[in-house]
Amino acid sequence: MNNFASLRVLDRFKPVYQKLNIDYDVMRKIIQLKLTMDSRRMPAIFSGSNIKKEGNQFLKSLWMYGLFGILFLVPFLFLGNEFLFSLTIMFSSLFIILMTSMVSDFSAVLLDIRDKNILHPKPISEKTLNAAKITHIMIYMVLLTGSFVTIPLIVSVFKFGIIFALLFFIEILLVSSLAVVLTAFVYLFILRFFSGEMLKDIINYVQIFLAIGMAVSYQLVGRVFQIVNIEISYTFAWWHTLLPPFWFAAPFELVLNRDYSLYIIILSFLAILAPIVAIMIYIRLMPTFERNLSKLQSDTNRTKKRNHMVQGIWARILCRTKEERTFYKFASLMLKEERELKLKIFPILGFSIIFPFIFLFNSLSSGSFEEMKIGSSYMVIYFSLIMIPSVVQMLEYSGNYKGQWIFYAAPIKNKSIVYSATLKASIVNYFIPILTLLSVIFFWIFSFRIFLDLVVVLLAAIMLTLVSYGIFSKGKFPFISSHEHTQTNAFFKVFGSMLMVGLMAAIHAVALIIPYGLPVYAVILLISILIGWRLMFSRG
């Protein structure tokens, strides 16, 4: 096995582990094996590459995190000495990236139980096993955080001096530790009250709530500050003590700006105390966490009887042949039950729900609620469609891709209907529920005067689904590729598809100012969908 560079660095801390009564040599072997196995796993942030060579794909994705650091952190270093403002935003960005990565990429590491049956019967102490897991996670967090903040850290040395950089470095370590522990606490809470199949489902749903929560938190932090004529004003409120980014920004005000206000001292105290206490609690609860992980090994079948009547009705409405109806039901089942697929898609769906409201709330800053109700702010619903290209691109992949032989063994007359049925299933199971939820809320805000507008948005969503399929599809069956082998240049294709959303929204806006423009646009979309669908899926 490889003698990884991270392990050679870890060797320098061997005395520390030995003083903690940890069998370092055994722990090192376990981590070495885990790192070797990680070479087969693709991180979510870098899902646009085509894997053809051996190696740890996470390491190859670090340049993307470095790019994020340049885009999201460096600009805030040039906002002057208003550290509570600039660094609160910076640490919000860092916290979002770390938490998102923990959920999307490292859940498999935190909840890994594959080695329990192999290692637990061996004469290895529980402390050594726990140390191996924690160290394994921290190796990746150090690499991820390092790539994200290295350039901002270098810039900070030249901009504010060595004291700022040292303080920034210490804070980064605290933020990283807190991100790991908070994610573990979320899963510990779930593991405490649920088990088996239900737990595995809940983990997927937690990702949606985390995605939405982080997006809302990012907006909330930005709204605490009022920027008027380039003057930044801040008024402390008690609930700011509940927002970790404020904790980590406060020490810079305390040390560099010599602001000894009571709230600055309290926030600075929390920046140091909260991560340390959280780590201590996690270490104490880790045996409980490991015991509860055994619930993931429970393969208890779901006894809940599922009602397929609704899917049957949709199948009869949307599918012309019995063969297509069969594949529609199959695709619906995959979209609902395939955990690895939901792991990739659900966070995207979460953002698509929250984005329209983020931009809707932004419009309130320039006018009243009554003015917004009679205006055209409802057009922000188009932001919910940006999920479609990514979701359509994901339909090719599955954790059970080895079952693809069934497509080739089955006597399918027209192979194109398999993807046709899958696209219809994705529209019914993903897009329509989200648009329905948003429509109900938008009807309440803007009244039923926007009914035709929302019909046009639905038609635009279906059209975008068809266009995205045309861009991504290579004539293959759905669900036949591993998530670790995503399309080359998929990111650019998704970005190109998203431009279609802007184009459709622009045409919609133009149609609003033309007499009878909106009904005509709706008819054009409907005809285009019917003709396009027939042409694209007519040949087998």
Residue-wise pLDDT for 362-389, tens only, equals 777 666 777 778 888 889 999 889 888 8
pLDDT confidence of residue 48: 40
Say if residue 228's pLDDT is above 50.
Answer: no
Q: What's the pLDDT score for residue 47?
A: 41
Distance CA 426, CA 338 (A): 13
Written in H, E and C, the secondary structure of 196-230 is HHHHHHHHHHHHHHHHHHHHHHHHHHHHHCEEECC
Contact, 387 vs 460, CB < 8 A? no
Average pLDDT for the chain:
79
**pLDDT of 49:** 42
The predicted structure's pLDDT at residue 208: 63
Percent of the chain scoring above 70 in pLDDT: 77
Ramachandran region, residue 479 (left: φ > 0; alpha: ψ -120 to 50; beta: rest): left
Task: Please report the pLDDT score of residue 460 as a whole number.
Answer: 94
Q: With cut-offs at 50, 70 and 90, classify the pLDDT of residue 436.
A: very high
- Is the pLDDT assigned to residue 526 strictly greater than 70? yes
With cut-offs at 50, 70 and 90, classify the pLDDT of residue 51.
very low
Mean pLDDT of 184-210: 68
- Which distant-in-sequence residues (6+ apart) come within 8 Å of 142 by Cβ? 176
User: What's the pLDDT band for 305 if we cut at 50, 70, 90?
Assistant: very low
pLDDT per position as a tens digit, 266-277:
999 999 999 999
451 pLDDT higher than 90:
yes
The single residue listed with the structure tokens 């088996």 is 196
What is the average pLDDT across 44-69? 56
Cβ within 8 Å of residue 503, ≥6 positions away: none
Q: Is the pLDDT of residue 445 over 80?
A: yes
Neighbours of 352 (CB within 10 A): 23
Examine the pLDDT at 232 and tell me if it is beyond 90: no
Encode pLDDT of 492-505 as tens digits: 655 666 688 889 99
Of 138-142, 305-309, 535-539, the range with the lowest mean pLDDT is: 305-309
Q: What pLDDT shows up at residue 52?
A: 44
- Model confidence at 344: pLDDT above 70: yes
The Cα angle at residue 354 between residues 351 and 357, in degrees rounded to 5: 150
Lowest-confidence region among 45-54, 162-171, 221-230, 379-388: 45-54
pLDDT over 50 (residue 43): no
* pLDDT surpasses 60 at 105: no
Q: What is the value of pTM for the model shown?
A: 0.63
- For the segment 301-305, the average pLDDT, to the nearest whole number, is 47
The crossing angle, in degrees rounded to 10, of helices 83-104 and 196-224 is 160
pLDDT of residue 395 exceeding 70, the answer is yes
Q: Report the pLDDT averaged over residues 45-62.
A: 50
Q: Among residues of the chain, what percentage have pLDDT more than 90?
A: 16
pLDDT at residue 45 tops 60: no
pLDDT, residue 303, reads 44
- In whole angstroms, give the CA distance from residue 91 to residue 94: 5
Average pLDDT estimate for 112-119:
68
pLDDT at 44: 44
Q: HSE, CB side, 13 Å, CA atoms: give it for residue 430.
A: 36
Residue 423 scores a pLDDT above 90: yes
- For residue 58, give Cα distances in angstroms to 42, 139, 278: 6, 12, 27
Residue 475: strand, helix, or coil: coil
- pLDDT winner (highest mean) among 108-122, 163-177, 184-198, 301-315: 163-177
Distant-in-sequence, close-in-space partners of 527: CB < 8 Å, separation ≥ 6: none
